[in-house]
Homo-oligomer: A and B are copies of this chain.
Amino acid sequence: MQNFDLYNPTRILFGQGRVAELGQWVPADARVLILFGGESARKNGTLDEVRAALGQRSVSEFGGIEPNPSYETLMRAVEQIKRENIDFLLAVGGGSVIDGTKFIAAAVHYEGDPMEILFTYAGNVKKAMPFGSVLTLPATGSEMNNGGVVTIKSKGAKLPFRNALLFPQFSVLDPTKTYTLPQRQLANGVVDSFVHVMEQYLTYPAGGHAQDRFAEGLLQTLIEIGPKAVETQEYEARASLMWVATLALNGLIGAGVPQDWATHMIGHELTAKYNIDHARTLAVVLPAMLQVRRAAKHAKLLQYAERVWNITGGDEEARIDAAIAKTRAFFESLELPTHLSAYDIGKDAIDALVEQLKAHGMIALGERQEITPEVSRAVLEAAL
């Protein structure tokens, strides 16, 4: 096992009806800005619930944070916060809104050009506003970690950041808040969570016995409850999806083990260039990544085949083939395509994507930094 630090001070308030309690965790004299995405949070009554829970506090709103939140939009919130002397942020939404809120929390106090935050992965952030979240879309895990991803539209760049000051103080996880989501977003959430786990699990054996079991348990749970969570409003399935999505990226399963994240980095370029949903880029890239990296990931692919998919027959290469096929079929069963052709992206598009990766410094990706732009090219070719 590798040495690691684990620190996660976010307070989780999980379950039906918990929004009503959030006032306990916001200072009584706070001037609050509620941040959200589209108008669904207003239409389905969540904004009203949140306002009621905040009682007599001064409350403003900032709506319109888009999927793949943009620097340009978020900077408008920063201006509003300064103008209105806001001192507490409350994100109401999914990963995009919470990621955006984290960037805003850092940008308000940043000395210098806030775009630098993104170009330095937030490593130079020294102060951030306090914030909480009300999660409405289980997928990214942003509700219980200190990272995010923001797109700079003017540069066509989608950039990750992380800083110890950017944990939500609390997050309300009420599974019934997912009842009004479209199936497409729920399916995206299942795959996003699945790939988050895979990025921290499917590398090479490193003595992380408990971490491996936890990762496998999250994958098994997604396989077990994912389809039901997408197709029905069963509370138990939605609750498990919501909790798994959080556990998939709260630092726990990745502590002490190697991590990959190359699938995400290549996926980000597809989103930046073609505006494909984040999870959908992962569904395309991951199976191709496993195929191209099957030698380097050999031992873990066999473990994954056996423990997650119960594949024990046949020779080793056949078991690996079967595990990759099962992964692809799982994504397809949720109606996420696993080939670039589904998005009319052909071989002629690959040069530009590889150039984007180089331009963003993504030249030595993966758990052993072996994924050069040429390996990324091979992955994209395998994903055609």
Contacts and interface: CB of A to CB of B under 8 A. Distances in A.
Interface in A177-236: 207-210, 212-214, 216-218, 220-221, 224-225, 236
A304 to B, nearest CB: 14
Nearest to A14: B4
B218 A236 contact: no
A1 B234 CA distance: 12
Nearest to A248: B210
21 contacts: A1-B15, A1-B175, A1-B236, A1-B240, A1-B243, A3-B18, A4-B12, A4-B15, A6-B11, A6-B12, A7-B12, A8-B9, A12-B255, A207-B236, A208-B240, A209-B224, A209-B225, A210-B221, A213-B217, A213-B220, A243-B256
A208 B12 CA distance: 16
Given A15-B1, A15-B4, A256-B243, A221 B217 contact: no
Interface string A242-266: 0110010000100110000000000
A96 B321 CA distance: 50
Interface residues of A, number: 42
A86 interface: no
Nearest to A218: B210
A252 B4 CA distance: 18
Number of copies: 2
Which 8 pairs from chain A and chain B are nearest by CB? A213-B217, A3-B15, A207-B236, A6-B12, A7-B11, A9-B9, A209-B240, A1-B239
Interface in A283-335: none
A13 interface: yes
A124 interface: no
A5 interface: yes
Interface in A2-55: 2-18
Interface of A: 1-18, 175, 207-210, 212-214, 216-218, 220-221, 224-225, 236, 239-240, 243-244, 247, 252, 255-256
A3 B13 CA distance: 8
Given A213-B214, A214-B214, 15 more contacts: A1-B240, A3-B14, A3-B16, A4-B14, A9-B9, A207-B236, A209-B224, A209-B240, A210-B218, A210-B247, A212-B217, A213-B217, A214-B217, A216-B217, A217-B217
Contacts of A213: 213-214, 216-218, 220-221
Contacts of A210: 217-218, 221, 240, 243-244, 247
A218 B208 CA distance: 12
A59 to B, nearest CB: 24
A217 B210 CA distance: 6
A247 B18 CA distance: 26
A12 B1 CA distance: 14
Contacts of A256: 14-15, 239, 243
A207 B372 CA distance: 43
A14 B225 contact: no
Nearest to A245: B210
